[in-house]
Amino acid sequence: MIRSDIIRGHLESIILRLIYENDQYGYEISKQISLRTDNRFQIKEATLYAVFQRLEKKELIESYYGKVSHGGKRKYYRITMLGKAYLKETAREWKETKEIIDLFMEGLD
């Protein structure tokens, strides 16, 4: 099992990436994270909504209410132009960070 503190610093980028693919609501995003990681990483609801708040405050995403379904309106999130630029920058940073860490960690397994 992966230590969640390693991923925690990258949650904003992970969530932005999922919203970049298409507008989504909270539960959908948490399901995608579990699914794509084969349940190796799961995000708690409180953590997810705290990240949404930070991203909205930074104007990297915006929210809107969708049509009523299953008795209520779902709150969807979409990435902004600023969010797309930020995501590209964090992707570049991650690639460089990964290359540096790989220099030291490869060949140990």
Tell me, what's the pLDDT at 70? 72
Contacts of 43 (CB under 8 A, 6+ apart): 11, 29, 30, 33
C-alpha Rg value of the chain to the nearest Å? 16
Tally Cβ neighbours within 10 Å of residue 62: 15
Range of the domain at 29: 4-105
Tens-place pLDDT, residues 45-104: 999 999 999 999 999 999 999 887 777 888 999 999 999 999 999 999 999 999 999 999
The number of folded domains in the chain is 1
Tens-place pLDDT, residues 6-54: 787 889 999 999 999 999 999 999 999 999 999 989 999 999 999 999 9
For the domain that residue 60 is a member of, what is the CATH number?
1.10.10.10
